[in-house]
Amino acid sequence: MPWVLVSAATERSGPDQSERATHLPEAYQTALLEAGGIPLAMPGTVSRPVIAACVDACDGVLLTGGEDVDPRIYGPKLRPELRRKVTTTPDGGRRDYREMVLIAETLRQRKPLLAICRGQQVLNVALGGTLWADLPTQLPTALNHRRMDMRREIVHEVRLTPGSILAKITGRLTLGVNSTHHQAVRRVAPPLRVTAASPDGIVEGLEWKAGAGEPVPFVVSVQFHPERLVDRYPEHQAIFRAFVQACVLSRNLRL
């Protein structure tokens, strides 16, 4: 069984909320375990050598959801009313930095990468793209993408790009998804291509673009949360199965 390094969220903890803790929802763990992978939580470090060693010890990397990516990383200073809509990590940006280093190291070591929700956003930023900081403010005609009341339910469909990894994995050209985000990919990073979009044009999936430098084994991201749907929708479990299979191939190549 392949080992999957999971970049978890950082949360405040302790009686007075003065401590920080790594938080990894069981939904991610269960989805990986049922797909045949063994999840290991990424330690809360910003040390490049440690991050590189963690990637080297595992067969693939999963980026999870969580707080917003700090807009100072990908764009100009936001207007005060827009800035108030953004909730960044409680660790002063350490998670943003850690995951950008983690992405670079995963690509350098040519390990499979699956990125979910915030994970898609930080992947896009790490490779040179930008984000919508708050969809309701900047794109008021867009769908309501922050359906926190239905986080484990299908709330809209996305169109899949024919021939994309997502289309091949799921065997579909449309896919019902949940939606709990208010930020989204704006300008797509040059090495990536769009593989899924909602009816209002919001980017719902990305993958490595053919011809964008040296080929990598598996780089897939989604804006929705398949880990919350795997128990009822085989097409969402298929995403984790394909990722874990890529991790198996990665391990076999190194043996």
Rounded to whole angstroms, the Cα distance separating 136 from 225 reads 20
Rounded to whole angstroms, the Cα distance separating 242 from 186 reads 27
Q: Establish whether 181 is a catalytic residue.
A: no
Among 104, 107, 108, 4, CA closest to 59: 4
> Of the residues 54, 58, 117, 247, which is catalytic?
117
> Of the residues 156, 207, 227, 236, which is catalytic?
227
Rounded to whole angstroms, the Cα distance separating 86 from 134 reads 7
> Of the residues 156, 181, 225, 236, which is catalytic?
225
Among 11, 24, 33, CA closest to 243: 33
Q: Show the CA angle centred on residue 27, arms to residues 24 and 32, nearest 5°.
A: 90
**What is the DSSP code (8-state) at residue 182?**
S
Rounded to whole angstroms, the Cα distance separating 39 from 5 reads 6
Q: Establish whether 225 is a catalytic residue.
A: yes
In angstroms, what CA-CA distances link 90 with 11, 12, 26, 69, 204?
7, 7, 21, 11, 26
Q: Establish whether 117 is a catalytic residue.
A: yes
By CB neighbour count within 10 A (0-12 exposed, 13-18 middle, 19+ buried), where does 147 fall?
middle
Rounded to whole angstroms, the Cα distance separating 86 from 70 reads 8
Helix (H, G, I), strand (E, B) or coil at 23: strand
Helix (H, G, I), strand (E, B) or coil at 13: strand
Residues serving a catalytic function are 117, 225, 227
